[in-house]
Chain A
Amino acid sequence: MIIQEKQQINWQPIIKQFEDVVGKNGVVQRREELLTYECDGLTSYRQRPAVVVLPRTTEQVAEAVKICDRNQIPWVARGAGTGLSGGALPVENCVLIVTALMKKILEIDLENQRVVVQPGVINNWVTQAVSGAGFYYAPDPSSQIVCSIGGNVAENSGGVHCLKYGVTTNHVLGLKLVLPDGSIVDVGSSVPEMPGYDITGLFVGSEGTLGIATEITLRILKTAESICVLLADFTNIEAAGASVSDIIGSGIIPAGMEIMDNLSINAVEDVVATGCYPRDAAAILLVEVDGLEVEVAANKKRIAEICTKNGARSITTANDLETRLKLWKGRKAAFAAAGHMSPDYYVQDGVIPRTQLSFVLQEIENLSQKYGYRIANVFHAGDGNLHPLILYDNSVPGALEKVEELGGDILKLCVKVGGSLSGEHGIGADKKCYMPEMFTEIDLETMQWVRQVFNPKGLANPGKIFPTPRTCGEAANAQSAKQFESVERF
């Protein structure tokens, strides 16, 4: 991989070339305007890009990428900037290609249940565009009202409903790609399993290191006839975990299953005041089931019995949309609420085999005490995807380093019990140094082969996913987030 470091770049002629492609309005170069683009949702890492380019079409993206290729300039793609692993974190002297203006829904084909969008289209818009006809787009990250489909594709985003319906990769049929040499290729189609290698599947989740998707063909699903949300509260978190195992063991696959611990419950009650989650509960379990009315009614009954058997204090159920959204509201606001509980928080995204839940929660509690930081736990319990939120104050010198170390210990724990470093946020800049915990040198070398094919000059999103001696040998390049408090996090 060749990355030119510390080179002297004469930016003015290059900026002129970008302006010729996207117009003056499509190029951001003033220092204060570039501030917005210094970080994504992982705000503890910051780096100002040299210039931001905002294309509107595939051809403009291709031209912008070619300019970078000709001039040997690294570039980073960014959607809405809500990613939580620093996937869209700029590198020094890079061009940031932002897809925010590529927000057209290009085609809606209800009968074939496909929608074609540009990458800047917001996740939630897809569902809004087809919900009138009774369809929806299944992957629903908590940031769905602001995150873009392009970013979802890059990170293979999940959400609270992916237990039954899968994550982004299960819903992407085809892509138009701009490769790092500026060439345009079409992979996949509106039809699955086209002849040839499944480059669509390889690209989804590649975190901007293989190119930019400029048109995305999505599969949409028919909205269920009936949907029900159950909320059960428990006096110990193990009982909530046991209920999850028993529900799965009984043969029911709910659309989603989420657990929040006491600290998270109180955080969201403080902020969004749903009044739904009992503040004295050790844990709440949210379960959504969908299907035919008769099926939902039967499963609801069985799940309530299972929760009661495991010691649930009370069970609330909701079938109507308004109450269901109210029950979900606290869960979807959990990260934001953590931000109100403490000056800063650090979110992790480990995955464990769901049967290890009790053990891992106890270990996380031990780590919390060892390091002296409170940890709020929110997780997609059905698929074992944990989101521990470590609460800290970044103005305390050395706090972030300690917190990152604690986060690293949690990730190592996840891998040790047979899990993964990331369930849905991606490796990005944040977790690349932990990749050797999960993969051997040969595994990583093999993955690098893929990068070598698509991105031989290493210009597309350098320094992400894979550990490098330079970045993992020394302390993380973290700066104070304090001065940018107004930047929203999701």
Chain B
Amino acid sequence: MIQETKAIAQTLTDILGPAAVRDWENIEVSQQKHISETVSSGTTSTCIVYPNTQSELAQVIACAYQQRWRVLPCGSSSKLSWGGVAKGVDVVISTSRLNRVIEHAVGDLTITVEAGAKLSDIQAILAASGQFIALDPSYPQTATIGGIVATADAGSLRQRYGGVRDMLLGISFVRADGQIAKAGGRVVKNVAGYDLMKLFTGSFGTLGMISQATFRVYPLPEASQTVVLIGIGDAIALATKTLLASALTPTAVDLRSTAVVTNLGLGKGMGLITRFQNITESIKQQSTRLLEVGQTLGLQCSSYTGNDEAELWQKLAEQIWASGQEPEIICKIGMLPTAAVATLTLLDNISHQQGIGLIHAGSGLGLLRFNPENALNCVTKMRSHCQSHSGFLTVLEAPISFKQQLDVWGYSGNALDLMRQIKQQFDPENILSPHRFVAGI
């Protein structure tokens, strides 16, 4: 096996030069860890290759296709371990050197970037023009554009702006056979050809390797304010219902489990955390109206602006994503929005108020975090609950041994054959992200 890896590394070095290839011993420790958490076996014999351009990426994949090497596409590898456990990976291809801005059309509110560009770098460039990509994904400092698209990873801002699929206007990718293809375009409205952007969003690198993406961008809001309401589940449910049925236009409406509220010292009970971002006159009035709702329902009410607000959101994100001493179980969930409070109540009950939970109240999507103790039981119960409310539970992060005990994805529909056929058509030799996706795709 090690012999083979040496041969692979040598072949890639012949194509791209020595600076583009690293063998396992020379990979950074953090990246070794991410790869080890992703692949079931043989990791120590993997090499990693860093193409500099889209055409170099195409050359590498064409070579892998000819040689039938199995490829693990990655960006900065922050979410590499999400989803199913990859099998028998021969080579890791990183987009991290494909990090250029191709075009920022300021007046057209679009930006086209290479897949390995870090979201945080792109946001800094956009901010200079008073714009931003309206995504607040996990690991915002390290996440790359390609990784965000491949995992469809959006955060709280989806309340106003939608998910990754709603912002992705165009895409270029390298197919499994090494050919470069594209779909969509660089304009905000476009129906020419099939919408492969949607197909690739959330496809976990199983259909092709994303090389460029065009995003819709938005003007940075003038002002921002966050209202926090805390109390018992029934009152929080009522406040959420009132808010969503009102004419208020929040950019984020998040329900948080009791453990989150406790950990941040915000109070006692479940939390409804609502962000308003708009012109100053509007956010003031919207916050006032929501605070009134909270007071009427007897909830503990507070509001945050400026640095306090930024710090609050930072801490809320850390509750889910901060790496602890022990590996934790992190799941993505979805359910009908009306089931959100009941879901967090169930989480509180089965985790003895230790479970970290977040549900975006408008969409019914959310995240759960458990410590490994008794996690299998918790995951099974939560999944069955979500499915009974038209939803799902997918395990994102967990030790491989945990993932091997259950179906990571939790797909319960009847379109599996269709999905397998799509995979078969796009990657007939099954060389891309093998076994990471739904039903072992």
Interface residues of A (CB under 8 A from B): 109, 111-113, 134, 155-156, 158, 162, 166-167, 169-170, 179, 185-187, 189-202, 204-206, 222-225, 245, 248-249, 251-253, 291-292, 294-295, 298-299, 351-355, 380, 383-385, 418-427, 431, 435, 438-440, 442-447, 449-454, 465
In the complex, the answer to whether B189 meets A424 with C-beta atoms within 8 Å is: yes
Distance between A356 CB and nearest chain B CB, rounded to angstroms? 9
The CA of A191 and the CA of B413, in the complex, are separated in Å by 13
In the complex, the answer to whether B335 meets A185 with C-beta atoms within 8 Å is: no
Q: Which residue of B lies closest to A421 (CB)?
A: B192
The CA of A162 and the CA of B279, in the complex, are separated in Å by 21
Residues on A with beta carbons closer than 8 Å to the beta carbon of B203: 197
Q: Which residue of B lies closest to A165 (CB)?
A: B162
8 Å CB contact of A111 from B201, B241, B411, B418: B241
In the complex, the answer to whether B175 meets A446 with C-beta atoms within 8 Å is: yes
Given A253-B218, A446-B183, A190:B281 Cβ within 8 A? no
The CA of A179 and the CA of B414, in the complex, are separated in Å by 13
In the complex, the answer to whether A194 meets B413 with C-beta atoms within 8 Å is: yes
Given A251-B219, A453-B425, A422:B196 Cβ within 8 A? no
In the complex, the answer to whether A422 meets B191 with C-beta atoms within 8 Å is: yes
Most-contacted residue by chain B among A134, A205, A385, A420 (CB, 10 A): A420
User: From DSSP, what is the main secondary structure of chain B's interface residues?
Assistant: loop
The CA of A450 and the CA of B334, in the complex, are separated in Å by 27
Chain B 346-366 interface residues, beta-carbon cutoff 8 Å to A: 362-365
In the complex, the answer to whether B248 meets A193 with C-beta atoms within 8 Å is: no
B128 an interface residue at 8 Å Cβ cutoff? no
Residues on A with beta carbons closer than 8 Å to the beta carbon of B163: 192-193
Residues on B with beta carbons closer than 8 Å to the beta carbon of A299: 279
Residues on A with beta carbons closer than 8 Å to the beta carbon of B220: 251
Residues on A with beta carbons closer than 8 Å to the beta carbon of B10: none
Q: Which residue of B lies closest to A299 (CB)?
A: B279
Residues on A with beta carbons closer than 8 Å to the beta carbon of B334: 189, 191-194
Bitwise interface map of B from 410 to 441 toward A, beta carbon under 8 Å scored 1, else 0: 11011110110110011000000000011000
Q: Which residue of A lies closest to B241 (CB)?
A: A111
B391 an interface residue at 8 Å Cβ cutoff? yes
Distance between B110 CB and nearest chain A CB, rounded to angstroms? 8
Q: Which residue of A lies closest to B393 (CB)?
A: A195
The CA of A454 and the CA of B422, in the complex, are separated in Å by 9
Distance between A300 CB and nearest chain B CB, rounded to angstroms? 12
| Additional A-B contact list (7), CB under 8 Å, known A191-B391, A195-B392, A439-B192 | A195-B394, A195-B410, A197-B202, A197-B207, A204-B195, A384-B108, A447-B183
Given A193-B334, A422-B192, A185:B415 Cβ within 8 A? yes
In the complex, the answer to whether A447 meets B193 with C-beta atoms within 8 Å is: yes
Distance between A457 CB and nearest chain B CB, rounded to angstroms? 14
8 Å CB contact of A453 from B107, B421, B438: B421
In the complex, the answer to whether A166 meets B162 with C-beta atoms within 8 Å is: yes
The CA of A299 and the CA of B278, in the complex, are separated in Å by 11
Given A195-B411, A449-B426, A248:B241 Cβ within 8 A? no
In the complex, the answer to whether A446 meets B189 with C-beta atoms within 8 Å is: no
Bitwise interface map of B from 139 to 182 toward A, beta carbon under 8 Å scored 1, else 0: 00000000000001000000000110110000000010001111
8 Å CB contact of B285 from A190, A294, A380: A294
In the complex, the answer to whether B422 meets A197 with C-beta atoms within 8 Å is: yes
8 Å CB contact of B196 from A162, A352, A440, A447: A447
Given A423-B189, A435-B192, A446-B181, A196:B411 Cβ within 8 A? yes
Chain B 86-131 interface residues, beta-carbon cutoff 8 Å to A: 105, 107-110, 130
Residues on A with beta carbons closer than 8 Å to the beta carbon of B248: 292
In the complex, the answer to whether B175 meets A251 with C-beta atoms within 8 Å is: no
In the complex, the answer to whether B185 meets A169 with C-beta atoms within 8 Å is: no
Distance between A370 CB and nearest chain B CB, rounded to angstroms? 25
Given A193-B163, A193-B365, A420-B190, A298:B415 Cβ within 8 A? no
Given A298-B281, A353-B105, A196:B419 Cβ within 8 A? yes
B373 an interface residue at 8 Å Cβ cutoff? no
Residues on A with beta carbons closer than 8 Å to the beta carbon of B390: 189-191
Q: Which residue of B lies closest to A162 (CB)?
A: B189
Residues on B with beta carbons closer than 8 Å to the beta carbon of A351: 185, 187, 189-190
In the complex, the answer to whether B425 meets A420 with C-beta atoms within 8 Å is: no
